[in-house]
């Protein structure tokens, strides 16, 4: 489990670093949110600042990966999930700090060099370009087909009671929900504004067709990547016991999305230079614009949209926190993050306390306390390994699991176990809600002592 946490943390750090490095590219006449012409962006002074920014991103990535190795230290690993959350938040903060610092350097350089541009945007509209919409893109049938196929795991679970015992059918609907977002992504990419920078209508139309083809191809490939991820994830959940293999689909998905986004940006820049190379050189389309990204979030009070594409459009959507509804949603997300943060810390830090109280055994655990009457217990035994199963409502960390689980051969269970001990006590109860309670202590010796205490308690009269 700790190895899975390591892989997940490295994946998160690599994704954040990749997005941060994309931000250094000269896109939409901006570098790190600072408006610059193509010539100015290629100047030695700007390139030196970008070089420093790149090394700052690499340094944050390497330090984050290095500190994540402390998860292998027993004292830190005991709080693995909480430690990983702290690392991710720290990584985000230092990446934001790097963006802020080097953006200020660019602004200072721009002021020193007196690189000023028009404050008024001149928008040229070629009505003939609008008529090209939907003619050159990849058909939307593919993304709609991928959406329908994402229900396959849910259909399989509906007809397989054995699979449902491992994997709740409600969870299988997460895939179609995520797949639906790729359908919206497709239509957004197809309808993106295409600049008309040439006085030649045919050139504008040719560029519009090329850009639509590039954008819809990227959206369709992203949709396919999401579907492949969902199929692999469900397969590994149902048919493997390896937590590493369960993480693998996420690694593949993020890698593919990054590659697709890079391909899309590269092809778009190539097409723009091919069709409008002369027009772009004279800077006629350049205007001064404020960065619409603050604190790592999209902030544009002049944009009426609530949901907008991320900086790398193929990577999904984000919210406009300048919009009143966006503010509320942003606050809700922040509260949710804090709740998760506190819950993970509380669940990882609190130990189980098992006490005998006359005719009852009481188990004190974070949010999942339990009391068992002596006459409810049919038998008590020990096992050396936990059966395969799934968590239905509880906590499953790197070192402990507690709450409601569904295990092969046992059905509905309550677990209060430390994972690295290798010995577990099984209390069989009357009924099936739950049918079993499985507990242990921090060491095999303490677990054996707990087992003898429970036997002795059962042997005494009420």
For residue 60, what pLDDT is reported?
A: 95
Q: Is residue 232 a part of any domain in this protein?
A: no
Q: Which of 61, 88, 115 is the last residue of a domain?
A: 115
Nearest to 208 by CA among 222, 221, 193, 227: 193
Joined together, the tokens standing for residue 414 give: 């309550």
The predicted model scores a pTM of 0.65
3-state secondary structure string across the chain? CHHHHHHHHHHHHHHHHHHHHHCCCCECCEECCEECCHHHHCCHHHHHHHHHHHHHHHHHHHHHHHHHHHHHCHHHHCCHHHHHHHHHHHHHHHHHHHHHHHHHHHHHHHHHHCCCCCCCCCCCCCHHHHCCCCCCCCCCHHHHHHHHHCCHHHHHHHHCHHHHHHCCHHHHHHHHHHHHHHHHHHHHHHCCCCCCCCCCHHHHHHHHHHHHHHHHHHHHHHHHHHHHHHHHHHHHHHHCCCHHHHHHHHHHHHHHHHHHHHHHHHHHHHHHHHHHHHHHHCCCCCCCCCCCEECCEECCCCCCCCEEECCCHHHCEEEECCCHHHHHHHHHHHHHHHHHHHHHHHHHHCCCEEEEECCEEEEECCCCCEEEEHHHEEEEEEECCCCCEEEEEEEECCCEEEEEEEECCCEEEEEEEECCCCCEEEEEECCCCCCEEEECCCCHHHHHHHHHHHHHHHHCCC
Q: Is residue 15 a part of any domain in this protein?
A: yes
For residue 131, what pLDDT is reported?
A: 67
Domain that holds residue 10: 1-115
For residue 128, what pLDDT is reported?
A: 64
For residue 65, what pLDDT is reported?
A: 92
For residue 424, what pLDDT is reported?
A: 92
For residue 1, what pLDDT is reported?
A: 60
For residue 147, what pLDDT is reported?
A: 94
Q: Is residue 16 a part of any domain in this protein?
A: yes
Q: Is residue 165 a part of any domain in this protein?
A: no
Q: Is residue 46 a part of any domain in this protein?
A: yes
For residue 221, what pLDDT is reported?
A: 92
**Count of structural domains within the chain:** 2
Q: Which of 90, 115, 140 is the last residue of a domain?
A: 115
Q: Which of 65, 98, 115 is the last residue of a domain?
A: 115
For residue 120, what pLDDT is reported?
A: 57
Q: Is residue 320 a part of any domain in this protein?
A: no
For residue 402, what pLDDT is reported?
A: 82
For residue 44, what pLDDT is reported?
A: 92
Q: Is residue 181 a part of any domain in this protein?
A: no
Could you state, in chain order, the average pLDDT of each consecutive group of 10 residues for the chain (462 residues)? 76 86 78 82 91 95 92 73 83 90 91 77 57 79 94 88 73 86 84 71 82 90 92 83 70 83 83 71 58 68 69 63 73 71 66 81 81 88 84 72 83 85 88 85 89 86 56
Residues 6+ apart with CB under 8 A from 399: 1, 77, 78, 80, 348, 418, 419, 420
For residue 24, what pLDDT is reported?
A: 85
Nearest to 423 by CA among 446, 453, 395, 390: 446
Q: Is residue 277 a part of any domain in this protein?
A: no
């Amino acid at each position: 489990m700790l190895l899975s946490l390591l892989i997940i943390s490295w994946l998160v750090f690599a994704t954040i670093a990749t997005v941060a490095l994309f931000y250094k590219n000269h896109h939409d006449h901006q570098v790190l949110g600072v408006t610059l012409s193509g010539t100015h962006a290629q100047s030695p002074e700007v390139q030196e600042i970008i070089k420093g920014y790149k090394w700052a991103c690499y340094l944050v990535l390497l330090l984050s990966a290095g500190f994540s190795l402390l998860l292998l230290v027993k004292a830190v690993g005991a709080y693995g999930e909480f430690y990983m959350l702290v690392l991710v938040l720290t990584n985000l903060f230092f990446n934001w700090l790097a963006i802020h610092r080097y953006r200020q350097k660019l602004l200072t350089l721009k002021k020193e060099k007196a690189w000023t541009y028009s404050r008024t945007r001149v928008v040229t509209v070629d009505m003939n370009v609008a008529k090209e919409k939907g003619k050159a893109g990849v058909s939307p049938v593919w993304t709609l087909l991928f959406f329908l196929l994402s229900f396959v795991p849910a259909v399989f679970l509906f007809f397989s009671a054995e699979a449902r015992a491992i994997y709740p059918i409600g969870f299988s609907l997460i895939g179609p929900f995520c797949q639906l977002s790729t359908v919206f992504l497709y239509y957004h990419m197809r309808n993106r504004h295409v600049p008309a920078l040439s006085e030649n209508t045919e050139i504008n139309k040719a560029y519009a067709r090329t850009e639509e083809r590039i954008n819809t191809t990227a959206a369709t490939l992203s949709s396919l990547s999401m579907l492949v991820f969902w199929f692999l994830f469900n397969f590994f959940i149902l048919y493997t016991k390896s937590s590493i293999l369960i993480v693998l689909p996420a690694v593949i998905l993020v890698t593919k999305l990054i590659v697709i986004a890079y391909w899309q940006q590269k092809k778009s820049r190539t097409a723009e230079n091919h069709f409008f190379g002369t027009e772009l050189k004279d800077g006629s389309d350049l205007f001064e614009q404020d960065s619409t990204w603050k604190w790592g979030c999209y902030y544009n009070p002049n944009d009426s949209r609530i949901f907008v594409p991320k900086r790398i459009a193929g990577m999904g959507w984000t919210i406009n926190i300048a919009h009143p509804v966006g503010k509320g949603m942003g606050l809700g997300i922040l509260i949710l993050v804090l709740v998760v943060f506190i819950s993970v810390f509380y669940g990882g830090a609190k130990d189980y306390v098992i006490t005998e109280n006359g005719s009852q055994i009481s188990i004190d655990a974070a949010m999942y306390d339990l009391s068992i009457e002596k006459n409810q217990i049919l038998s008590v035994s020990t096992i050396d390994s936990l059966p395969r199963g799934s968590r239905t409502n509880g906590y499953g960390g790197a070192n402990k699991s507690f709450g409601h689980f569904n295990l092969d051969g046992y059905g509905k269970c309550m677990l209060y176990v430390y994972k690295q001990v290798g010995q577990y006590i099984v209390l069989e109860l009357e009924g099936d809600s739950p049918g079993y309670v499985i507990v242990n202590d921090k060491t095999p010796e303490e677990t054996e002592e707990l087992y003898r205490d429970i036997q002795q308690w059962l042997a005494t009269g009420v």
